[in-house]
Amino acid sequence: MKTILLNNGVEMPVLGYGVYLVSPEECERCVLEAIGTGYRLIDTAQAYYNEEGVGAAVSKCGVPRSELFLTTKVWISNAGEEKAARSIDESLRKLGTDYIDLLLVHQPFGDYYGTYRAMEKAYRNGKVRAIGLSNFYDARFVDLAENMDVKPAVLQLETHVFSQQYRMRGLIKDYDTRLMAWGPLAQGTDGIFTDERLKTVGARYDKTNAQVALKFLTSEGIVAIPKTTHKERMASNFAIDDFELSAEDMETIRRMDTGKLKTDFNDPVLAKYLLDYDKQFNPINRQK
């Protein structure tokens, strides 16, 4: 498995497995299968309500903890220094581990400066090996990166062949921050699995559209974390180490960038929806 080096010297796998929308019931089985397939990076979040499933798989998988790389994210309802600190301990408990490899601020809403301060403290105390951000764009990213002591090691953004994030990639270079792609398969939209341009490229290497799309990202030094609940797809998404895309094919895929994102983090409607998300989706709130 290829790795990249973060700005604090921590080594991170360039390909991982994401568990957004993997139900708490299914999560243990999926993560066990993913680790069995060879994945070592697992990306979860407090707001996925499946950290316990990840933890159960980690404890049963037989792979030493030191060989795994666990990412989780602090949700908006835990924003602010004290609440975030408590939530980090809660995530550690649910994941059944005494350290998280990478901890991200999930969304740029609420008191995220307080959240980041709590994350810096957890980093200094050895509860977390690296910290970063998710869904922070432009001035929001720069302001936080400029004002905080620990520069974000990673920025996780929607990134795929149709939205290649060139502007943000330029901007985060100043902080030596690495890009991590969420939705690296465009969440299965825009005809990614049948796209003729990807098919033409893939035919040269006997690879599927998904494999070509993931190979493109990792070849650009972008960490990709595809999600699937199907074991065969986990295996095929993982099988991208045995070929290299030619410079010409990389260029063909670069031209697929539309510069458009599916999710706009400057949209006030999205801000209100996300600020309310925990009330609607947290199983604890739903039982009330």
Positions touching ligand NAP (CB under 6 A) are 18-20, 43, 106, 134-135, 156, 182-188, 193, 210, 225-230, 233, 236-237
Give whichever of 189 and 200 is closer to ligand NAP, judged by the CB atom.
189
Give whichever of 188 and 191 is closer to ligand NAP, judged by the CB atom.
188
- Please state, in angstroms and rounded to a whole number, the distance separating the CA atoms of residues 133 and 154: 6
Q: In angstroms, what is the minimal distance from the CB of 226 to ligand NAP? A: 4
Residue nearest to ligand NAP (CB): 18
- Please state, in angstroms and rounded to a whole number, the distance separating the CA atoms of residues 277 and 66: 33
Give whichever of 78 and 248 is closer to ligand NAP, judged by the CB atom.
78
Q: Could you tell me the strand order of the sheet in which 223-224 lies?
A: 16-18, 41-43, 69-74, 102-105, 131-134, 154-158, 178-182, 223-224
Structure tokens at 143: 């302001």
The burial of 255, by beta-carbon neighbours within 10 Å (0-12 exposed, 13-18 middle, 19 or more buried), is given as exposed
98 alpha-carbon distance from chain centroid: 20
Give whichever of 20 and 205 is closer to ligand NAP, judged by the CB atom.
20
Residue with tokens 């601020």: 105
Q: In angstroms, what is the minimal distance from the CB of 34 to ligand NAP? A: 11
Q: In angstroms, what is the minimal distance from the CB of 4 to ligand NAP? A: 17
CA-to-CA dists, residue 187 to 63, 116, 192, 226, 265, angstroms: 29, 28, 9, 9, 17
Q: In angstroms, what is the minimal distance from the CB of 146 to ligand NAP? A: 22
Give whichever of 23 and 125 is closer to ligand NAP, judged by the CB atom.
23
Does residue 155 sit in helix, strand or coil? strand
Structure tokens at 19: 């568990």
Q: In angstroms, what is the minimal distance from the CB of 186 to ligand NAP? A: 6
Residue 48 annotated as catalytic: yes
Give whichever of 33 and 43 is closer to ligand NAP, judged by the CB atom.
43
Catalytic residue among 39, 48, 137, 175: 48
Instruction: Please report the sign of the dihedral spanned by the C-alpha atoms of residue 14, residue 95, residue 103, residue 7.
Output: negative
Does residue 42 sit in helix, strand or coil? strand
The burial of 39, by beta-carbon neighbours within 10 Å (0-12 exposed, 13-18 middle, 19 or more buried), is given as buried
Q: In angstroms, what is the minimal distance from the CB of 180 to ligand NAP? A: 8
Does residue 204 sit in helix, strand or coil? coil
- Please state, in angstroms and rounded to a whole number, the distance separating the CA atoms of residues 97 and 85: 16
Q: Which residues are catalytic?
A: 48
